[in-house]
Amino acid sequence: MVSIRLSRAGAKKQPFYHIVVTDNRNGRDGRSIERVGFYNPVARGAAEALRIDRERVEHWMSTGAKPSEAVAKLLKKGA
């Protein structure tokens, strides 16, 4: 099954997450099919905290991909 979930990047105590489309069988930071955005929970000032390619997310959801709980919250937040 294909899912849309977060993949962690960044340094220790400086989290940064890529929003990726991946197969459920792959690990959290493993191989992904496509990167559709990012989330920076520690963004300060003029730094961009969230960017999502809505068109691609809608495409993947129409083909059966399911977003994780965290990504579903971000999709609502970004709307």
> What are the extents of the domains in the chain?
2-78
pLDDT at 73 over 80: yes
What are the Cα distances from residue 15, in Å, to 6, 29, 44?
11, 13, 13
pTM of the model: 0.90
Residue 22's nearest CA partner among 53, 73, 74, 68 is 68
For residue 56, give both structure tokens: 């691609």
> Do 58 and 78 contact (CB within 8 A), yes or no?
no
Q: How far is CA 11 from the centre of its chain?
A: 18
CATH of domain 2-78: 3.30.1320.10
Confidence band, pLDDT 50/70/90 cuts, at residue 79: low
Pull the structure tokens for residue 61: 């959801």
Q: How does pLDDT run across 9-68, given as a tens digit for each residue?
A: 999 999 999 999 999 888 878 888 999 999 999 999 898 999 999 999 999 999 999 999
